[in-house]
């Protein structure tokens, strides 16, 4: 089951995970034109080989190891990871819409600084 990027990536987006991924399945990369438009990064579910290298690399603990491990209030971001395809305008727009809906639906979580958000995830249902 693929790894999932969640909302601490929003406002962080530092690409530390991209640098350690052995199969380059985290998109978009910083050197791609799409990077500026993306509110967060995404793991391609079919390209991810579940190696786990990205988890300790993320400075804000945004990455969960599976759909099951992803907190319930973050599961709405799973389809964003699934649908995002670099260079596909429709797919990118779909992912962005999901992320914006998540931000709108969770003002309480998003009010927490990104660096502290993952630690606070257990406080939300």
Contact residues for ligand SF4, defined by CB under 6 A? 3, 5, 9, 12-17, 20-21, 23, 25-26, 41, 43, 48-54, 57-58, 60, 62-63
Which one, 60 or 73, has the nearer CB to ligand SF4?
60
Residue 26 or residue 99: which is nearer to ligand SF4 going by CB? 26
Q: Dihedral through CA 124, CA 25, CA 31, CA 37, nearest 10?
A: -40
Closest by CA to 57, choosing from 15, 25, 115, 23, is 15
Residues 6+ apart with CB under 8 A from 120: 109, 112
Minimum distance, C-beta of residue 23 to ligand SF4, in the bound complex (Å):
5
| Closer residue to ligand SF4, CB minimum distance, 54 or 125 | 54
């Amino acid at each position: 089951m693929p790894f999932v990027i969640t909302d601490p990536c929003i406002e962080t987006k530092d690409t530390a995970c991209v640098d350690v991924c052995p199969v380059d399945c985290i998109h978009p990369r910083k050197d791609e034109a799409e990077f500026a438009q993306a509110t967060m990064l995404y793991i391609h579910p079919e390209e991810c080989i579940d190696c786990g290298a990205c988890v300790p690399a993320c400075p804000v603990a945004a990455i969960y190891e599976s759909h099951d491990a992803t907190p319930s209030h973050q599961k709405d971001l799973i389809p964003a990871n699934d649908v995002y395809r670099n260079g596909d305008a429709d797919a990118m727009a779909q992912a962005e819409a999901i992320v914006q809906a998540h931000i709108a639906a969770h003002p309480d979580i998003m009010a927490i600084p990104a660096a502290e958000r993952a630690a606070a995830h257990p406080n939300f249902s």
